Chains A and B, each alone.
Chain A
């Protein structure tokens, strides 16, 4: 398996521009997560989907951030307009998890390589 795939790996943009980050989860996984890593706040969950439906977006910092999962093999995280404080590494992760079932080995989360975003 190719693992979780993210693109681009690096993105440099100017303040005010729209940024779109992309993620392809591991085939067969039904949960997808977006995380952000900064020096100040560490790793924090932004949003997660189960079976393409957003379950918890309480970590999304503000309305400038939006995420979609149009199908089981693709998700986007969009920032519009971008600001310098959005500079961070954004990780996507996926797992096989079913709400309501007991936790088990299958809900291990696997992370992609991340997208390093720099907003000037």
Chain B
């Protein structure tokens, strides 16, 4: 089956810094989503982005489907950005396959 790999596995930032999280997938996909799991465990949708670029406030994401990767940009990080960021891909049908996540800690 499809492999979804995320990097880096963990990241510590000073508040105000920018960061880029990467997601590589081993096969073509119909769908790719980015999630933020907050410290309370809630999984929050960030982006639905099978291709192209989208922006939402300080966050943006780019997926290059032909090269099988997606990037999540966080600008001017805040302590509330802390948590785990997951990407999840749908190779076919409707089954999300999750990466292992990037643990982000933003220090004030």
Contact = CB atoms under 8 A, between A and B. Distances in A.
B48 A113 contact: no
B100 A42 contact: yes
A18 interface: no
Interface residues of B, number: 22
Interface of A is mostly: strand
Interface stretch (B17-25, B67-75, B89-97): B89-97
Given A50-B94, A99-B93, A103-B90, A108 B41 contact: no
Given A43-B86, A48-B95, A111 B43 contact: yes
Nearest to A58: B95
A48 B97 CA distance: 13
Given A42-B101, A103-B90, A114 B96 contact: no
Interface size class of A (residues with CB under 8 A): 20 to 34
Nearest 10 interchain pairs by C-beta: A103-B30, A111-B43, A43-B98, A108-B48, A97-B94, A103-B31, A42-B100, A45-B95, A114-B41, A113-B42
Interface of B: 30-31, 33, 35, 41-43, 45, 48, 50, 86, 88, 90, 93-101
B33 A113 contact: no
Contacts of B35: 111
Contacts of B48: 105, 108
A110 interface: yes
A50 B94 CA distance: 9
A93 B45 CA distance: 11
B87 to A, nearest CB: 11
Interface of A: 31, 33, 42-45, 48, 50, 55-56, 89, 91, 93, 95, 97, 99, 103, 105, 107-111, 113-114, 116
Nearest to A103: B30
A2 to B, nearest CB: 14
Nearest to A98: B94
